[in-house]
Amino acid sequence: MGQYLLKRFLFGLLTLWVLSMISWVIIELPPGDFVDLYVEELLGNMAGGALADMIETGMRQHYGLDKPSIYRYGKWMWHMLQGDLGMSLEFGLPVTTVVSERLLMTIILATTTAIFAWGFAIPIGIYSAVRQHSPEDYVFTFVGFLGLAVPDFLLALWLLWVSFAYVGQSVGGLFSPEYMVAPWSFARVWDLITHLWIAAIVVGTAGTAALIRVMRANLLDELQKPYVVTARAKGLPEWRAVLKYPVRVALNPLISTVGYLLPFLISGSIIVSVVLNLPTEGPLLLRALLTEDLFISATIVLVLGAMTVIGTFISDVLLALLDPRIRMSG
């Protein structure tokens, strides 16, 4: 087991390194950079004159953008190993400061959404498979397809309208105005909880619907296998015949989704975060890409990659614990 985990950990580090190079190259591909956009916005029609050239040259030297891309990547990686992720070109603050302000809220939202998705999907999937072709199964199937079909941002807009029109309260953001910049306290945590549930439901609806379908399909396949028929023939209680082995085997594909579930909850909810005004990494990544803020973009993409690696590592560990065949062959 220890050798299995060590191998997965080393593969994870190698994946992050390769991902950092690929993300840096992709972010550098579009023509122009932050300085070009800044000078054009600052000077407007005057861009291209002597003043513009002087400002552009000074800013490139100040931010190090006059150096070759491979040199800047190597310098960024070297400083990153020392805990320095560079300076934000737009905000003029350390990238660590800008990203960390939203990272905690992102992790809280992603964790809450994952708990919501798994907490509802697994029991509903089991019930729907055991009661196949029942009225409840048809209801859950319809709701599942509806959750997959309705875009998250459209659901967010509808909930905003309903809450404002019938409740008289906005569900946007994760805090009330008086707690936006307040220090952490029990009152602020409670205010976060009262706002968090709506964001978790909106972000997790599609994922929950997909997990229900996967759990139902996997369990239906397992329930038809000879070992389940034998267990029932020997008089094993129905709940035990279902939960002891078929459910454990049916959970394997769901656990494998942990690897992409965590980054998807961040990158896949950018539009929802913009609509609901959520202080997460998604809108920050969108803004950094639009303004070509290289260091913030590369850092957030690297964070997404790290969450993918961490999620995959967690899924590998859970699969090894759940299924000895994987542990023995890994």
CATH of the domain at 268: 1.10.3720.10
Residues 6+ apart with CB under 8 A from 39: 47, 52, 55, 56, 59
Look at residue 277 and tell me if it is in a domain: yes
Of 162, 263, 255, 161, which Cα lies nearest the Cα of 203?
263
In a domain, 311, yes or no: no
- On whether residue 313 sits in a domain, the answer given is no
Q: Is residue 213 part of a domain?
A: yes
User: What is the domain range of residue 163?
Assistant: 107-291
What's the DSSP call for residue 182?
Answer: P
Instruction: Examine residue 169 and state whether it is found in any structural domain, yes or no.
Output: yes
Number of domains present in the structure of the chain? 1
- Give pLDDT tens digits along the chain (330 positions): 677 677 877 888 888 888 888 888 888 877 777 777 777 776 665 555 566 677 777 777 777 777 888 888 888 888 888 878 888 878 888 888 888 878 888 888 888 888 888 899 999 999 999 888 899 999 999 988 888 888 888 888 888 888 777 766 666 778 887 888 788 888 888 888 888 888 888 888 888 888 898 899 989 998 888 888 888 888 888 888 888 888 888 888 888 777 677 677 666 677 788 888 888 888 888 888 888 888 888 888 888 888 888 878 887 777 777 766 665 555
* pTM of the full structure: 0.78
> Does 233 map to a domain?
yes
Q: Kindly state whether residue 134 falls inside one of the protein's structural domains.
A: yes
238 occurs within a structural domain: yes
- Give CA torsion, residues 302, 303, 306, 311, to 10 deg: -140
